[in-house]
Amino acid sequence: MDQSLTLALPKNDLAVVQQIPADQKGREANPLYLPPRSIRATEFNSPELQELIDRMYRTMVQKSGVGIAANQIGKRLQVFIIEAQSDNPRYKVLGAVPKQVFINPIITKVSSQKKNFWHGCLSAEGANRGNVATYEWIEYQCQNEKGALIKGRLEGFASVIFQHEFRHLMNGTYLDVAKQCLSKEALDLAIERNETPFFDTAPDTLPLLIQGYSIGDTLEQYHATK
């Protein structure tokens, strides 16, 4: 059995899977570019699922991330976590986002307006930040660790992080979408000098991070069209 499709985890610390540029070999075997499966009814409320979530979260915190998807730690499973603490060194300017776990997520409704954001990623270590559009707000449904159906709405930075992690489950990263990229140092300077938009209304010409996804579809439906 393909171990990336199971809940089983190694005993050692989890490594973050790194992106592979579209013009390089290796994507066909990289979990970031392979369809993730949904969590099954029999797997909810299990020690194995809870351990997966706990260790994903621990890895995210260790790396100072604000979100992490299961395929970023090599597991092709429809699970991701978001959280931005007020003292996070990477994104503190946009405020805190409470910890939330999303299992088998679906985006059910989105705003007409979009915001731009310069994305970085734990799976793009050392890469430039990329400017892409995300919906200003989204509504979603998912399941929690016990399998209960959850519905909600996210706005602002929480909406950005959700769409960033959802992109991973669609496969790929912001680098597969972004046309404008800057090093973190150049970006910080440009923002300080007001030389680039930062979380402003996005023009229609700016690529949408989750382009290709039809609102209301399951991830299985999305991948079936690829």
Instruction: Say how many C-beta atoms besides its own lie within 10 A of residue 100's C-beta.
Output: 18
Torsion, Cα 166 50 19 95, to 10 degrees, reads 60
The Cα–Cα gap between 214 and 195 comes to 34
The Cα–Cα gap between 31 and 2 comes to 11
Give, in order, the Cα–Cα distances in Å from 47 to each of 8, 37, 52, 185, 205.
Answer: 11, 19, 9, 42, 46
Longest dimension (CA), the chain: 53
Active-site residue identified among 83, 165, 185, 220? 165
Based on the residue annotation, tell me whether 165 is a catalytic residue of this protein: yes
- Across the beta sheet with 149-155, the strand order is 67-69, 79-84, 97-110, 137-143, 149-155
Residues with a catalytic annotation lie at 165
